[in-house]
């Protein structure tokens, strides 16, 4: 008997799983499009309270101990982007960037079984870094029965301890059986406030599709306890926190679905693969570290030393052959080329973009925005505030703003405020100035030419809207720019090391046009020289302080585009206007800072760069149906990094207590993808800029039930017997019956046998 683990969540606890979608006639029924599994879970306020359950079960599923029974110690790479709920949200909601790329956590696993009548035993060691303190998670697995129709959870137990400085800073146990589920967790990881919290879950499964249970959360640092009770039957789910009971309809027809990952497939139903990256190892000081190299850079596991030019990393092969060694080239920053792509304003309808008004809006619009809740000071709008704007087919509408005070929070206006032509062209220029903004749905920067703006207010939205594909420029590679010209927010070594801002004083906030230009060139190390002979580096007082998340330059141009002259303001021909870059076929931006995503790290073999595929830009025509909300009838541009990572679907916020859509500035609001691309060969298709069409299929999704007031009278809430904290066991202790032994030393480290749940070893069962 082969025992498998399935991802558990309170979704499973309330007895619900999204039924498999029936195979479709085209693509072929036996193709991966129709056979690749889809996983889903129900999200509820109680599941938000026990995210650790999702993380544990996702890790176990990704390690595939069921396929490596009695094969000795092996390495599995778990994609933390998939298993960390916060990473999943960001990966789906974010349009691009290194944060969306796979982040692999190496895990040492040993899976054993005495015979077919004995349980599968698993030992797991995970090295982690918590707030600068190294530690190791020890986990002991025991599984004797696989999930089935009569026992949907299987029969298993996972005991774990996060060992740091000789003590379990977090300790817990998750168990499943035909009777239900239990989970208990004692978390003393501390943090800045010395937090100490406990979680206890008990679910008792009833007859058929029914059950009841409770989750108890206790804060021992600031004493307080919250108890969630729940009960369910085939049609409804009842939950209460003691003061706010809610009843939900379990029908899929009335539920909202958000997908966290997708696969793309070609016309034959085969997976669309990208040369997006591969696992690597790096040895230093007698220690070998795991990592991953891809388009967004090279990342190593926490605690690994920094890679520098001349370091050597080795690709990990999964067929037993030696991996290729690559030489590292590291630069202090990253130069990205943005190449313009064209759409129309009609296609851009309902697509939201972020915009700052650096000119004075008309009096009526200013009054209306302030009345709707926009930030103001003495009757004037606060300059620099980011506004959420979209074209509704007849006017540009403002419906929200972003206020950054410590952290950035988007707040919805009390009503939409339309913009007049004078708001976007206060000086009555002909043509109006270009509108440069940022759109999550279009993958980043967008530019609406002044001619399009003028035509739009004449109700002829056939003019162009431009968005941009992105490609990293490899230092020293052929075709790179010899010189770069910057007129807005141009970082310099002098400013970073002692300025008020990291930008040249003459170009800092030179939004409306100015006479200053900074000329750069890439030096032999791939760093940006600011013309003074000094490289714009990643260290300095400002980059270690308020700019610790990094610095981005304004848009820069090269000689082939006409140099600085190509940025001349159109209405006086004298000053430089950075907005003119939107009229060019391409432009560049430079990023620098202390983080891996601010820097360039490339790999070379024989003096040539190893180049990875950039994300594939595809567009999705959102069906014009009310179930797709404000995005219905619009076209969104998405980025496909690799299988499972399709990013850029617009988001919305929901109340975790009621699952209703709320303003993102509401208390406890939770950000989720606003819709899921349907698994349908007609509606669920995307297209790239070359006209190629692909089928999209969601792989991981959550279901949120809709409210059903008054329908749960027959469901009784109670608190069953909860698992005891005193029952916790310690698999890191030699005196504990669950002890799994010391962490093995695998030298030399073997190639991973499992990568993100896929077994790559020839010994897989």
pLDDT in tens, 554-600: 999 999 999 999 999 876 666 898 888 888 999 999 998 877 778 88
- Predicted pLDDT at 99: 40
Domain boundary among 558, 592, 626: 592
CA–CA distance, 158 with 154 (Å, rounded to integer): 12
Q: 201 pLDDT exceeds 90?
A: yes
- Predicted pLDDT at 349: 85
- Token pair recorded at residue 47: 């599941």
3-state secondary structure at position 552: strand
Q: 144 pLDDT exceeds 60?
A: yes
Whether residues 515 and 626 fall in one domain: no
Whether residues 484 and 585 fall in one domain: yes
Q: 49 pLDDT exceeds 70?
A: no
Whether residues 573 and 497 fall in one domain: yes
- Predicted pLDDT at 22: 33
- Predicted pLDDT at 2: 31
Range with the largest mean pLDDT of 44-53, 231-240, 382-391, 621-630: 231-240
Query: 10 Å Cβ neighbour count for 630?
Result: 18
pLDDT band at 499; cut points 50, 70, 90: confident
Whether residues 463 and 357 fall in one domain: yes
CA–CA distance, 525 with 543 (Å, rounded to integer): 20
What average pLDDT does this structure show over 699-716? 93
Whether residues 345 and 461 fall in one domain: yes
Residue-wise pLDDT tens digits, 249-272: 999 889 999 998 899 999 999 999
Number of domain units in the chain: 4
CA–CA distance, 650 with 652 (Å, rounded to integer): 7
CA–CA distance, 691 with 696 (Å, rounded to integer): 15
Q: 12 pLDDT exceeds 80?
A: no
Task: Say if CB 78 and CB 137 are below 8 A apart.
Answer: no
Which pTM value belongs to this model? 0.71
Whether residues 507 and 581 fall in one domain: yes
- Predicted pLDDT at 442: 79
Residue 342 in domain = yes
Whether residues 523 and 508 fall in one domain: yes
Query: What is the DSSP secondary-structure string of 456-498?
Result: HTTT-TTSEEEEEEEEEPPTT-TT--S-EEE-SS-B-HHHHHH
How many CA within 13 A on the CB side of residue 527? Answer: 19
What average pLDDT does this structure show over 237-242? 93
Whether residues 546 and 630 fall in one domain: no
CA–CA distance, 699 with 719 (Å, rounded to integer): 35
Q: 369 pLDDT exceeds 90?
A: yes
Residue-wise pLDDT tens digits, 531-552: 776 777 666 676 767 788 788 9
Domain boundary among 453, 469, 485: 469
User: Of the candidates 695, 696, 648, 698, which has an alpha carbon nearest to the alpha carbon of residue 674?
Assistant: 648
Whether residues 414 and 505 fall in one domain: no
Residue 75 in domain = no
Whether residues 345 and 454 fall in one domain: yes
Task: Say if CB 701 and CB 708 are below 8 A apart.
Answer: no
Give every CB contact of residue 380 below 8 A, 6+ residues apart in sequence: 366
pLDDT band at 312; cut points 50, 70, 90: very high
Q: 665 pLDDT exceeds 80?
A: no
Q: What average pLDDT does the structure give for the chain?
A: 84
Domain extent at residue 520: 473-592
Residue 204 in domain = no
DSSP letter (8 states) at residue 269: S
Whether residues 354 and 445 fall in one domain: yes
Residue 401 in domain = yes
Element (H, E) at 82: helix 80-83
- Predicted pLDDT at 492: 87
pLDDT band at 697; cut points 50, 70, 90: very high
Whether residues 572 and 662 fall in one domain: no
3-state secondary structure at position 289: strand
Q: Name beta bridge partners: 535.
A: 529
Q: Identify which has the larger pLDDT, 688 or 404.
A: 688
- Predicted pLDDT at 290: 81
Domain boundary among 660, 686, 702: 702
Strands 256-265 and 246-249: unpaired
Q: Measured between alpha carbons, how far is residue 17 from residues 13, 70, 74, 261, 700 in Å? A: 10, 32, 32, 17, 12
CA–CA distance, 590 with 593 (Å, rounded to integer): 10
- Token pair recorded at residue 243: 């003061």
Residue 223 in domain = no
Residue 245 in domain = no
3-state SS of 23-55?
A: CCCCCCCCCHHHHCCCEEEECCHHHHHCHHHHH
Q: 682 pLDDT exceeds 70?
A: yes
- Predicted pLDDT at 357: 72
pLDDT band at 91; cut points 50, 70, 90: very low
Q: Identify which has the larger pLDDT, 661 or 527.
A: 661
Residue 129 in domain = no
Q: Identify which has the larger pLDDT, 536 or 702.
A: 702
Residue 16 in domain = no
- Predicted pLDDT at 130: 67
Q: Name beta bridge partners: 410.
A: 402
CA–CA distance, 714 with 210 (Å, rounded to integer): 12
Q: Alpha carbon 541 to chain centroid distance?
A: 30
CA–CA distance, 470 with 464 (Å, rounded to integer): 19
CA–CA distance, 111 with 142 (Å, rounded to integer): 10
């Amino acid at each position: 008997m082969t025992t498998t683990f399935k991802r558990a969540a309170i979704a499973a606890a309330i007895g619900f799983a999204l039924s498999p979608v029936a195979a479709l006639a085209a693509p072929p029924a036996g193709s991966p499009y129709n056979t690749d599994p889809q996983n889903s879970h129900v999200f509820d306020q109680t599941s938000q309270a026990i995210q650790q359950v999702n993380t544990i079960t996702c890790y176990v599923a990704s390690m595939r101990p069921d396929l490596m029974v009695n094969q000795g110690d092996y390495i599995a790479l778990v994609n933390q982007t998939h298993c960390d709920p916060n990473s999943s949200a960001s990966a789906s909601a974010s349009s691009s960037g290194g944060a969306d790329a796979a982040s692999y956590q190496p895990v040492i696993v040993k899976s054993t079984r005495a015979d077919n009548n004995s349980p599968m035993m698993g030992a797991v060691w995970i090295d982690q870094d918590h707030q600068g303190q190294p530690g190791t998670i020890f986990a002991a697995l025991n599984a004797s029965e696989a999930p089935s129709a009569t026992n949907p959870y299987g029969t298993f137990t996972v005991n774990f301890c996060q060992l740091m400085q000789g003590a379990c800073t977090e300790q817990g146990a998750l168990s499943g059986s035909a009777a239900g589920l239990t989970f208990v967790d004692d978390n003393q990881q501390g943090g800045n406030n010395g937090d100490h919290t406990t979680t206890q879950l008990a679910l008792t499964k009833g007859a058929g599709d029914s059950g009841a249970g409770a989750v108890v959360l206790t804060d021992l640092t600031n004493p307080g306890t919250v108890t969630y009770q729940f009960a369910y039957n085939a049609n409804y789910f009842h939950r209460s926190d003691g003061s706010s009971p809610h009843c939900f309809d379990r029908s899929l027809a009335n539920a909202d679905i958000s997908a966290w990952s997708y696969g793309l497939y070609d016309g034959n139903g085969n997976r669309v693969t990208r040369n997006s990256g591969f696992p690597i190892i790096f040895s230093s000081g007698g220690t070998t570290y795991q990592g991953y190299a891809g388009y967004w850079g090279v990342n190593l596991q926490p605690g690994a030393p920094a890679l520098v030019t001349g370091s050597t990393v080795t690709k990990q092969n999964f067929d037993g052959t030696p991996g290729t060694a690559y030489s590292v080239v590291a630069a202090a920053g990253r130069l990205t080329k943005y190449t313009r792509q064209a759409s129309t304003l009609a296609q851009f309808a309902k697509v939201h973009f972020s915009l700052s008004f650096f000119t004075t809006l008309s009096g009526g619009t200013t009054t209306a925005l302030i009345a709707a809740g926009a930030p103001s000071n003495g009757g004037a709008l606060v300059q620099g505030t980011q506004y959420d704007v979209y074209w509704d087919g007849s006017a540009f509408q403002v419906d929200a703003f972003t206020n950054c005070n410590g952290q950035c929070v988007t707040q919805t206006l009390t009503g939409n405020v339309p913009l007049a032509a004078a708001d976007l062209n206060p000086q009555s220029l002909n043509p109006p100035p270009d509108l440069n903004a940022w759109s999550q749905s279009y993958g980043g920067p967008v530019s609406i030419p002044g001619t399009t703006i003028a035509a739009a207010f004449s109700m002829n939205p056939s003019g162009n809207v431009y968005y941009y594909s992105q490609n990293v420029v490899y230092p020293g590679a052929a075709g790179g720019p010899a010189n770069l010209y910057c007129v807005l927010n141009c970082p310099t070594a002098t400013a970073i090391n002692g300025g008020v801002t990291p930008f040249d004083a003459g170009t800092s906030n030179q939004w409306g046009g100015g006479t200053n230009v900074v000329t750069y060139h890439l030096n032999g190390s791939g760093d940006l020289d600011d013309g003074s002979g000094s490289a714009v580096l990643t260290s300095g007082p400002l980059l270690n302080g308020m700019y610790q998340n990094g610095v981005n330059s304004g848009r820069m141009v090269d000689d082939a585009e006409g140099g600085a002259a190509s940025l001349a303001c159109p209405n006086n021909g004298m000053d430089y206007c950075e907005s003119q870059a939107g009229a060019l076929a391409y432009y560049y931006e430079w990023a620098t800072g202390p983080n891996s995503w601010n820097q360039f790290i490339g790999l070379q073999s024989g003096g040539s760069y190893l180049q990875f595929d950039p994300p594939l830009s595809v567009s999705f025509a959102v069906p014009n149906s009310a179930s797709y909300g404000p995005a219905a009838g619009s076209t969104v541009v998405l980025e496909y990094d690799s299988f499972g990572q399709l990013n850029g679907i617009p988001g919305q916020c929901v109340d975790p207590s009621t699952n209703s859509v709320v303003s993102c500035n509401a208390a406890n609001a939770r950000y989720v993808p606003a819709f899921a691309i349907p698994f349908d060969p007609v509606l669920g298709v995307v297209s790239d800029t070359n006209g190629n069409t692909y089928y999209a299929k969601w792989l991981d999704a959550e279901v949120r039930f809709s409210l059903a007031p008054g329908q749960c009278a027959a469901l009784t809430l109670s608190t069953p017997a909860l698992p005891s904290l005193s029952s916790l066991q310690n698999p890191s202790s030699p005196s504990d019956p669950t002890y799994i032994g010391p962490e093995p030393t695998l030298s030399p480290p073997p190639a991973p046998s499992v990568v993100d749940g896929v077994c790559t070893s020839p010994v897989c069962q």
